[in-house]
Amino acid sequence: MKMTINQGQIIRPTKQQWKLHQQLAQLSKDLNRLPDAREASRGKPRSVPVELLPMVF
């Protein structure tokens, strides 16, 4: 098995990789923020339908 030595060279990301990293950063930023009043009012908890109760318990 031939050993390779890391020379410490930085490989520049391709445009596709850069775009993916930007999208992941935006997603993590959006997940970290608190919802505004309109989103909070839409996300009210509701009762589970009776048909789904065996799945829950």
- Residue 35, C-beta contacts closer than 8 angstroms, at least 6 positions apart: 43
Distance CA 11, CA 50 (A): 56
Q: What is the pLDDT of residues 3-44, one digit of tens each?
A: 777 777 888 889 999 999 999 999 998 888 877 777 777 767
- Residue 56: is its pLDDT beyond 60? no
- pLDDT for the residue numbered 35: 73
Q: What is the pLDDT confidence band of residue 55, given thresholds at 50, 70 and 90?
A: low
The encoded tokens of residue 48 equal 């589970």
pTM: 0.45
- Residue 47: is its pLDDT beyond 70? yes
Dihedral (C-alpha) 17, 23, 28, 33: value to the nearest 10 degrees?
Answer: 160
